[in-house]
Structure 1
Amino acid sequence: MVRLTMGSIRWAFNFGKWKPLREEWLLAAQSVQLEENQRIHKFVFRKDAKAALVGRLLLRKVIAEKLDIPWQKVKLVRTEKGKPILEDTEDHRISFNIAHQGDYTVLASEMGPSTVGIDVMKAERPNGIKGLKDFFRLMRRQYTDHEWVTILKNPDEQEQLCAFYRLWCLKESYIKAVGIGIGFELKRMEFHIYSPEVPIGQVILDTRSLQTEDMTEFTMPNFTHLGFSHLVDTAESLLESEDSNWENFTNKPENPSDWKRSTAGSLDI
């Protein structure tokens, strides 16, 4: 049976391309809780600070809009596993989850008591890994024999990497949805992929796992890409605007490669 989920939300924000103006960053920074703002201050790189701040804004936006709670009344806390939840844990009207990696922060949300998990990965070889075979050897225990067949049957290395990360995202999304935590062995779940490719702009629903073989199928929405104006269109100030937020942000290198270049340059002097 296929049915439409009511209140399904899928949002994506490309923080990699976001080059915030001073006014934008200050608006975003003052629209989150104090402890969230302080946590974002501690990131070493601008890219990570942007990803985290966007994630908090996405969470507040979906809660405020879908539950009709004033922005200033939304109080987020974390579980022992680090999962963000509403402070009122008795409120099960909405389930939400976020992830960020590469250039994107993404959010998935469902209305009702169901749980939802999401993950995103950029299909690129990790830094410090000489060859794909070495990388796969390190990750051997995270996948079942069937899943390795799915990965390695692709003739091209980039296609193998895409299949690897596709399965990784499936496993991580499941773990996040059920709230198991990082101690769960990824090899304990096995996913079967029937559509070898995921066309851009389409949702694939024929993937199955040993845990969800009998699950009811849902028709899911495509991801909506939000711009900054949409991200903050319902935001309200929770904190005073402080120039230190902007100074802290601009003093960070964009990413590790920028930091390495600047460090190498200083050593040459």
Structure 2
Amino acid sequence: MIIVSKVIVVGSINKDLVFNTKRHPIPGETVIGDTHFQFNGGKGANQAVAAARLGASVTMVGAVGNDQYGLEIFEDLKRENINTDYISFKKNQTGLAAITIDEVGENSIVVIPGANGLLEPKDIPNDLISSKDTVLLQFEIPLPTVEHVAKIAKSAGATVILDPAPALTIPESIYQYIDIIKPNQGEAKEISGHDCINKAAEFLLHKGVKQVIITLGRDGAILFNENGQTEFANIKVETVDTTAAGDSFSGALAAALSRGEDIEKAIGFAIKVAAKTVTKMGAQSSLPRINEIF
């Protein structure tokens, strides 16, 4: 039997409510917005769509509410040629994200987990993951579920990528299952307690993670591993919306690794994809297809 390499994304599925304004309000302040949009989102779903549009065979594992948003998103994911067999319908409402974007494209986000908070280890079959798969995880679902998936993925011999967002204190027990961790600069500081990028990377490598990728926004990314560090320059573009930059990077990284690229080529590809993503508005609506990159 031929085993097809898959990208398996286990994570959040949200509806994004997006507000554009000239600047972000300070505490206690009301500002007038310019426009409002609704998009499909959630870090998990964004990363799944990103990988699928880049040619990967993708399975999405997550949870939505049995409501209009949940049904819409479920059908939209199917239209992206994503396997939705492992998306559960829960009693809670579909997750929501309120996103404010200023005139230079920088965003702030408030997330209500909704159904995402009910995704349990029992929702993920132990035989779902094979040794050829790349598994992508984030922290918008319950930690016990993240750890369960990481453990069974590691046992299966799959490659496990953790995008540690939103940043939190990572339980010591999880590190042993992670092959690649991809925080941004702020997340690396929050997780490690170190302001210095090199110190943060050293902290994560010491925990047993083999590859640490710290993304730096407009300044590119740095890979840290046993061979030292490698810097990757960003591609200069006119930024419209950075909402899905990190998710497009993660999805592209997983897609490239699943087709056999080495880590450095995969990062270079992910930077191209993220640069293309920020030139458009929205989360999934901004994610490019493979023919837009090559």
After TM superposition, the score normalised by the length of structure 2 is: 0.28
Q: Which has the higher helix share?
A: 1
- The structure whose Rg is larger is 1
After TM superposition, the score normalised by the length of structure 1 is: 0.30
Q: Which has the higher strand share?
A: 2
